[in-house]
């Protein structure tokens, strides 16, 4: 599979995971020539996985939980696929609580899905406004850097 066909499957509510999915897609296409499909799991919850060499899964976090459709997607077998995971979380954007976000939303989650052995995982800062106040912890440069390193691993 010379074109490194890649699926980026994501769920977003406030838009950040979609923005980051787009950044990752652009890097993999422009820097590495990968063929990438971006799929919103809310509108297409069951993409055909057979054609993909790499599957990158993105979700936002609310109330301490991954979004439901992304959680459900993790139950796929993903046999012989390279897997990578990225999250958008308010606490991941603050250096003081970043470690906590990794433990809670990535390490503890992956412990429940032992069949998943991602070659990369990361939690990026999110954005929110409303009763919790207003905050924007997004960092597109960090996402780009992660995608560049991910591309190297997938080549």
Ligand X SMILES: Cc1cc2nc3c(=O)[nH]c(=O)nc-3n(C[C@H](O)[C@H](O)[C@H](O)COP(=O)(O)O)c2cc1C
Rounded distance between C-alpha atoms, residue 34 and residue 100, angstroms = 33
- Asked whether position 89 contacts ligand X by CB under 6 A, the answer is yes
Indicate the helix (H) or strand (E) that contains 82: strand 82-89
- Asked whether position 16 contacts ligand X by CB under 6 A, the answer is yes
Cα 59 to the center of its chain, rounded Å? 6
Indicate the helix (H) or strand (E) that contains 114: none
CB of 137 to ligand X, least distance (A): 8
Token pair recorded at residue 124: 């990026």
CB closer to ligand X out of 129 and 149: 129
In the shown chain, the binding pattern of residues 123 to 152 toward ligand X, with x for contact by CB under 6 A and - for none, equals ---xxx-x----------------------
Token pair recorded at residue 155: 């080549």
Task: Give, as one character, the DSSP assignment of residue 3.
Answer: T
Exactly one of 4, 6, 8, 12 binds ligand X (CB under 6 A); that residue is 12
- Asked whether position 42 contacts ligand X by CB under 6 A, the answer is no
Q: Tell me which residues in 51-80 interact with ligand X (CB under 6 A).
A: 60-64
CB closer to ligand X out of 114 and 133: 133
Contact 130, 9 (CB under 8 A): no
- Asked whether position 15 contacts ligand X by CB under 6 A, the answer is yes
Rounded distance between C-alpha atoms, residue 24 and residue 144, angstroms = 6
Q: State the residues that interact with ligand X by CB under 6 A.
A: 12-17, 60-64, 88-91, 101, 126-128, 130
């Amino acid at each position: 599979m010379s074109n490194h066909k890649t699926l980026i499957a994501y769920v977003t509510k406030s838009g950040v995971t979609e923005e980051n999915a787009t950044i990752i897609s652009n890097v993999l296409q422009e820097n590495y020539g990968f063929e990438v499909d971006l799929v919103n799991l809310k509108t297409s919850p069951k993409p055909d996985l057979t054609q993909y060499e790499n599957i990158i899964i993105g979700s936002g976090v609310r109330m301490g939980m991954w979004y439901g459709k992304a959680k459900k997607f993790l139950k796929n077998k993903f046999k012989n696929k390279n897997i990578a995971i990225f999250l958008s979380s308010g606490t991941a954007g603050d250096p003081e609580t970043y470690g906590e976000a990794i433990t809670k939303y990535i390490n503890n989650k992956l412990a429940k899905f032992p069949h998943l052995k991602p070659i990369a995982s990361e939690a990026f800062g999110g954005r929110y406004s409303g009763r919790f106040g207003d905050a924007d912890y997004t960092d597109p440069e960090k996402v780009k850097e992660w995608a560049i390193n991910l591309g190297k691993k997938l080549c």
